[in-house]
Amino acid sequence: MFTRPLIFKIAVRHGYVVEEASQTVYPDFTLSRPGQQHGKIAIDVKTTYRRPKIGFTLGSYTSFLRNGTKNILHPYSDYVSHWVIGFVYDRVSLTSKESVALKERASVVTPYLNVAWFVQEKFKISGVDPGSGNTANIGSIITADIEAFRRGEGPFAKHGETVFKDYWANYVKGKKVDRIYSTVEEYLAWIATRR
């Protein structure tokens, strides 16, 4: 609700058209120039609450990274950049289960406080491990400091988006002992043996 009007406003200001995807399709928003097939910008909105450390899931690594058209609004090759708008918040415990009259809606306590945010290219905040144990989701970096997200301090930042994409497109789901690689350095060594 917060980001949607801002994205539309920015898009109009810079001559882009905005498309929105359904919940299970990547990305949340696609920006493109009218009449152009390529050069699209992907924007995903992610949220999580504060714990000792924070992290996000950044989408599936078994869909459009492996098959350029699976669960994605346009072919992956049509996109030139992929961005994440992330929000981190403190959860508020709400004990009341009573309904509130509409005229008293101002008394309702929000279920969150202390919202912080960042905007960063996806590959710069991606981690090397899945973001959840039971699904094939790319995990972000895990840190207590949101500044690491703002600065884009993930392990792929210095290697670029191509390394990020290939790392996750070839990632083997399973226990660490079954994986071909579990760090960027191991991936680079593995890829060197394939040449």
- Whether residue 28 lies in the annotated active site: yes
Asked if 21 contacts 36 with a C-beta cutoff of 8 angstroms, the reply is no
Long-range Cβ pairs for the range 148-154 (8 Å, 24+): 149/86, 149/118, 149/120, 149/125, 150/118, 150/120, 152/120, 152/121, 152/124, 152/125, 153/124, 153/125, 154/123, 154/124, 154/125, 154/126, 154/127
Indicate which residue of 40, 44, 78, 165 is catalytic: 44
Which entry of 28, 40, 78, 165 is annotated as an active-site residue? 28
Question: Which residue among 40, 46, 122, 124 is the active-site one?
Answer: 46
Name 111's Cβ contacts closer than 8 Å, sequence gap at least 6.
91, 92, 94
Q: Would residue 97 show up in a list of annotated catalytic residues for this protein?
A: no
Active site annotation includes 166: no
Catalytic annotation, residues: 28, 44, 46
